[in-house]
Amino acid sequence: MKRGILTAAAGVAASALLLSACTPPGGGGNEGDGGGGGEVSVMWNQPFYSMNNNTSATNNVTNANVVYMMNDAFKYYDENLELQDNTSFGTVEQVSEDPLKVKYTYSDNAKWSDGTPVDAADLVLAWAARSGNFNTTEDAKRDDEGAVEDAGGDVFFDAAEPGLALIKDFPEISEDGKEITFEYSKPYADWEVNLTVGDSGMPAHIVAKNAIDTEDPEEAKKAVLDAIESKDKGQLAKIAEFWNTGFNMTSMPENEDLLVGSGPMKMTDFSEGQYLTLEARDDYEGDRKPKMSKITIRYNEDPMAAVQALENGEVQLINPQSTADVLQAVEGIDGVENKTADGATYEHVDLTFDNNGPFDPASYGGDEEKAKQVREAFLMSIPRGKIVNDIVKPLNDQAEIRESFTQVPGSPDYDKVVEASGIKNTYGEGNVEEAKKMLEEAGVDEAPKVRLLYAKGNARREQEFQLIKEAADQAGFEVIDNASETWSEELGSGEYDASLFGWQSTSTAVTESDANFRTGGQNNFGGFSNDEVDKLYDELQTETDPARQAEILGEVEKVLVDEGFGITLFQFPEIVAHSDQLQNVKPMTVSPTMFWNFWEWEM
């Protein structure tokens, strides 16, 4: 079974975690001078755990937030979801259309925090690691947290980005290593966001130093480039092993190499499960110089604890999971600005196809049709309308059921894709009596037991679970509470039959959903496999006509509906609340959400 969390195309929202039990130093907000003297504290719901947020086990919003502040990148999204150039770090340009060639050029200001220039070795390592093109095995052993434990001497980078897989050949590199030109094997619609958004990849010289004992930075970079160019299995296996897990941490690491970044902030304190402190770098030469000297992120899963901390002045910015009680509490605090809107995350239920459970054909002697009928009956029982009416509408009286796996409600292609998929006509708002008939027609001998995984301690998910269980049990299922504090680490384990969580977008790329539904995709935790879907995503990668792109996604979603992949529920209502002394907070609807312009924050 495949284990992991998320790809760069999605994020986990509102995960469970240990309650905060202490206050970090400098926890309160001091009045800043607008020039690097201010401090701000933020509360988040899940502790940070890796500087490399590109593996299947670590690609989580909580990691992405910190990595974003500690690293520069070629591009970033603003609050209007417009892609902005970060030219102080470098530039990206298409230099040929047929074949597609893209050139990345680093500026002289692009440097790691230890003074080493950012250059070709770092970008080539990012491509090699995240493309999957250099892996010599897919059978790596994982630990209980989903991290790669042993690849048996083979090369296994724990990542797979389909767009990067289209780059087959080693790139052209300028003599000074500042210009890198990749050639694609076929056209690719989202080339502009490949290797450009979010972060600058892992520092190749640090990876080599720790993986293959190469101390000198320049020699280390050359060793990485040589290993990739020659496809040196022995060296690449060591590099991949460290790349996969070497940057994981739950507190301040003894090895300071792990904290080397290319961006304006550096980590100075990290108390396990409690808080993480970032401070502005004096030697940062890029354009994103922060006005705040210190940003501390406190961790607590309880949304009401976040509200209380904001009211008490312990933190100045929160993004708690929204419920009617939370909204009412926030609105009752003086001196607080509240921004409420639909967020980038949407709630959904996915089913597991390959664990010998109630939705796996193997449980019925390989009878695909019977397993599909059971899946459809369970999905029909889910009271989507009641969930939205009881849980979401108190926060947003205009809330509706989200009817698409790939499109945000209100986006240009939403209605087209929904119509093509047939999801509304198939499942409507949920129907217990119809689900009961469907299950009877499937002819199962006894009530199918469905273990439903979700975040333990998450108030809204607990409410959703109760509504789902009540309805599904009436339809003839036995729904088992499989809530877990470490639910995100258990995705893909096969130790559950259905999962309830949220996807959060990290870009506007048309191929963003590829890894969710493709066979073996990094986000395809339930083992869903369909040749037609795989072929459609192959076509989508090279399709540049927006009209045809929408048609392809409509066709993908029709297969998902017809095969009983899962069901969509609602778009998250988001609450971003902050002290009115904290200026320039501008939430946006893709990761890193409210952190995207942290350098503009000031007290």
Note the pLDDT tens digit of each residue in 283-293.
999 999 999 99
**74-197+203-246 is classed CATH 3.90.76.10:** yes
Mean pLDDT of 328-332: 93
Mean pLDDT of 438-445: 94
Q: What is the pLDDT confidence band of residue 588, given thresholds at 50, 70 and 90?
A: confident
Mean pLDDT of 184-208: 92
Per the prediction, the chain carries an average pLDDT of 90
Percent of the chain residues topping a pLDDT of 70: 94
Least trusted range by pLDDT, from 32-36, 310-314, 390-394, 520-524: 32-36
Query: Which residues make Cβ contacts (< 8 Å) with residue 387, sequence separation at least 6?
Result: 464, 467, 468, 569, 570
Percent of the chain residues topping a pLDDT of 90: 73
Query: Which residues make Cβ contacts (< 8 Å) with residue 294, sequence separation at least 6?
Result: 26, 38, 39, 40, 277, 278, 279, 280
Note the pLDDT tens digit of each residue in 295-328.
999 999 899 999 999 999 999 999 998 888 898 9
Judged by phi (left if over 0) then psi (alpha if -120 to 50, else beta), residue 568 lies in beta
Residue 26 has pLDDT above 50, yes or no: no
Give the predicted TM-score (pTM) of the model: 0.80
Amino acid 145: pLDDT: 72
Amino acid 6: pLDDT: 31
The kind and range of the H/E element at 236 are helix 233-245
Give which of 232, 382, 233, 310 is closest to 28, Cα–Cα.
310
Top-confidence residue, 7 or 446: 446
Amino acid 160: pLDDT: 82
Mean pLDDT of 356-362: 97
Q: What is the pLDDT confidence band of residue 430, given thresholds at 50, 70 and 90?
A: very high
Domain residue extents for the chain: 74-197+203-246
Q: Which residue has the tokens 């048309």?
A: 510
Q: What is the pLDDT confidence band of residue 3, given thresholds at 50, 70 and 90?
A: very low
Amino acid 1: pLDDT: 31
Q: What is the pLDDT confidence band of residue 16, given thresholds at 50, 70 and 90?
A: very low
Amino acid 419: pLDDT: 97
**CB of 244 closer than 8 Å to CB of 157:** yes
